[in-house]
Amino acid sequence: MIRLQHKLALGVALLGAVAAVQAQSVLNIYSARHYQTDEALYADFTKQTGIKINRIDGKEEELVERIKNEGASSPADVLITVDASRLEIADKAGLFQPVNSSVLESRVPATLRTPNWVAFSTRARVIAYNKDAVKGEWVQTYEDLANPRLKDQVCVRSGSHPYNVSLGAAMIAHNGEAKTEEWARGLVANFARAPKGGDTDQLKAVAAGECGVAISNSYYVARLMRSTKPEDQAVVSKLTVVWPNQKTSGTHINVSGAGIIKSAPNRESAVKFLEYLASDSAQAHFADGNNEWPVVKTAKVKNPALEALGDFKADTLPIGKLAATTVQAQKVYDRAGWR
Ligand code: FE
């Protein structure tokens, strides 16, 4: 009897030790996605799993460089970033290992993941125009924006920015390289000014009448729509938003995504975290925090701006296929003079 009690006590002590080790589990996230709303997600993950998150925030290029330099001894477990072209750069640099999760395979549509990284939210690249300057029927597709009748009307950010590179990659996949280069040349010829600033700056320039039409990610439009600042509301009142290419390929879609680092010291925690991001509640929060759409069908978002923008036909090009032509797209833009 005494011996049995002894064994039990030992067992309990061992269980306690295991629990203590588990409580100290950590996950090291390198993040190039800086939205305050993501903080609540990290806290919730720790609450649910007991896994402590150490996070290093930085610019994408810096984080990729850092992981490369740290090599096999890198403490990084997960890299989170935005845009397929950036995920492709990290993947091409050999940073990721296969994710291998049946949970993610069942929850995230196959077109929104690759073997080495997974998308967790989507955003659309939309056209916004000022109806005082251009006719709606002139700006229904990305291809329309290269039509000479829009000379001196187009505002868009740099051709080296990933959002535009990915758009070019999608166009190469749909129309081929030669046609995409011709398009880029036509677009450049229609610029109202040399590319400068971010997407929001282009939207403001359209509202101000500096140009007639711009290309922007959808969440920048939604952000202005949800802003209570009178100056932002004034911008919104001047804009008409178009879902491009509804009769053809559908509107170009991009993503936020994450991959597991090849040398991840805490692989198990990393998989758990990615699976957590694909849970219904995390999905709604992750996407809505930046006015994006969840990738998991069952996740519900109540976002008045996204609802006001309405439904649209999205491009169904697999994100991995799109990523594969991003380098080619950059070269096309360089040749076309889209700086
Ligand atoms: Fe952005």
Ligand 1 midpoint to CA 196 (Å): 15
Ligand 1 midpoint to CA 151 (Å): 27
Question: Does one domain contain both 321 and 227?
Answer: yes
| 261 falls within a domain | yes
Note down the domain range covering 108: 25-122+254-303
Ligand 1 midpoint to CA 256 (Å): 10
**pLDDT for 43 beyond 50:** yes
Identify the band that residue 6 occupies on the pLDDT scale cut at 50, 70 and 90: low
Query: Could you tell me if 228 and 264 are in contact, meaning their C-beta atoms sit under 8 angstroms apart?
Result: no
Alpha-carbon distances of 179 from 143, 183, 297, rounded to whole Å:
10, 6, 34
Question: How do residues 236-287 score in pLDDT, each as one tens digit?
Answer: 999 999 999 999 999 999 999 999 999 999 999 999 999 999 999 999 988 8
Residues 134-138, mean pLDDT to the nearest whole number: 98
What length is written for the chain?
A: 339
Question: Does one domain contain both 281 and 180?
Answer: no
CB count within 10 Å of CB 232 equals: 18
Ligand 1 midpoint to CA 97 (Å): 26
Ligand 1 midpoint to CA 215 (Å): 12
| 262 falls within a domain | yes
**pLDDT for 13 beyond 90:** no
Query: Could you tell me if 238 and 130 are in contact, meaning their C-beta atoms sit under 8 angstroms apart?
Result: yes
**pLDDT for 1 beyond 50:** no
| 19 falls within a domain | no
Ligand 1 midpoint to CA 217 (Å): 7
Ligand 1 midpoint to CA 332 (Å): 22
**Which residues make beta-bridge pairs with 256?**
82, 121
Give, for 128, the enclosing helix (H) or strand (E).
strand 117-129
Ligand 1 midpoint to CA 252 (Å): 15
What pLDDT was estimated at residue 286? Answer: 87
Identify the band that residue 9 occupies on the pLDDT scale cut at 50, 70 and 90: low
**Which residues make beta-bridge pairs with 82?**
256
Q: Amino acid identity of 222?
A: A
Ligand 1 midpoint to CA 83 (Å): 9
Ligand 1 midpoint to CA 2 (Å): 66
Domain holding 109: CATH number? Answer: 3.40.190.10
| 2 falls within a domain | no
Ligand 1 midpoint to CA 10 (Å): 55
Ligand 1 midpoint to CA 113 (Å): 20
Ligand 1 midpoint to CA 12 (Å): 51
Identify the band that residue 83 occupies on the pLDDT scale cut at 50, 70 and 90: very high
Q: Supply the DSSP string of 268-284, one letter for each residue.
A: HHHHHHHHHHTSHHHHH
| 1 falls within a domain | no
- Which residues does 25 contact at the CB level (< 8 Å), separation at least 6? 49, 50, 51, 52, 266, 269
Measured in degrees and rounded to the nearest 5, phi and psi for residue 289 equal -55, -30
User: For residues 202, 205, 211 and 215, what is the CA-based torsion angle, rounded to 10 degrees?
Assistant: 20
User: For residues 267, 271, 273 and 277, what is the CA-based torsion angle, rounded to 10 degrees?
Assistant: 150
| 68 falls within a domain | yes
Ligand 1 midpoint to CA 199 (Å): 8
- From 187, 185, 197, 211, select the one nearest 157 (Cα to Cα): 197
Question: Does one domain contain both 330 and 184?
Answer: yes
Helix, strand, or coil (residue 240): strand
Question: Does one domain contain both 78 and 179?
Answer: no
- From 124, 120, 109, 99, select the one nearest 41 (Cα to Cα): 120
| 37 falls within a domain | yes
**Cα atoms in the Cβ-side hemisphere of radius 13 Å centred on 292:** 28
Ligand 1 midpoint to CA 4 (Å): 62
Identify the band that residue 289 occupies on the pLDDT scale cut at 50, 70 and 90: confident
CA 120 to chain centre: 8
Q: The pTM is what?
A: 0.89
Ligand 1 midpoint to CA 174 (Å): 24
Question: How do residues 143-201 score in pLDDT, each as one tens digit?
Answer: 999 999 999 999 999 999 999 999 999 999 999 999 999 999 999 999 999 999 999 99
Identify the band that residue 2 occupies on the pLDDT scale cut at 50, 70 and 90: very low
Question: Does one domain contain both 208 and 329?
Answer: yes
Q: Amino acid identity of 194?
A: A
**Cα atoms in the Cβ-side hemisphere of radius 13 Å centred on 143:** 14
What pLDDT was estimated at residue 24? Answer: 64
Ligand 1 midpoint to CA 286 (Å): 14
**pLDDT for 80 beyond 60:** yes
Ligand 1 midpoint to CA 330 (Å): 18
Ligand 1 midpoint to CA 231 (Å): 20
Question: Does one domain contain both 87 and 152?
Answer: no
| 55 falls within a domain | yes
Question: What average pLDDT does the chain have?
Answer: 93
Ligand 1 midpoint to CA 235 (Å): 18
**pLDDT for 38 beyond 90:** no
Ligand 1 midpoint to CA 234 (Å): 21
Question: Does one domain contain both 77 and 156?
Answer: no
Task: Quote the number of domains for the chain.
Answer: 2
Question: Does one domain contain both 147 and 248?
Answer: yes
Give, for 332, the enclosing helix (H) or strand (E).
helix 326-336
What pLDDT was estimated at residue 37? Answer: 78
Question: Does one domain contain both 106 and 245?
Answer: no
Question: Does one domain contain both 243 and 278?
Answer: no
Question: Does one domain contain both 138 and 110?
Answer: no
Question: Does one domain contain both 154 and 241?
Answer: yes
Ligand 1 midpoint to CA 305 (Å): 17
* Dihedral-angle region of residue 200 (phi above 0 means left; psi in -120 to 50 means alpha; beta otherwise): alpha
State the pairing for strand pair 253-261/117-129: antiparallel
Buried b (16+ CB within 10 A) or exposed e, 198-222: ebbbbbbbbbeebbbbbbbbbbbbb
- From 125, 160, 113, select the one nearest 257 (Cα to Cα): 113
Question: How do residues 88-113 score in pLDDT, each as one tens digit?
Answer: 999 999 999 999 999 999 999 999 99
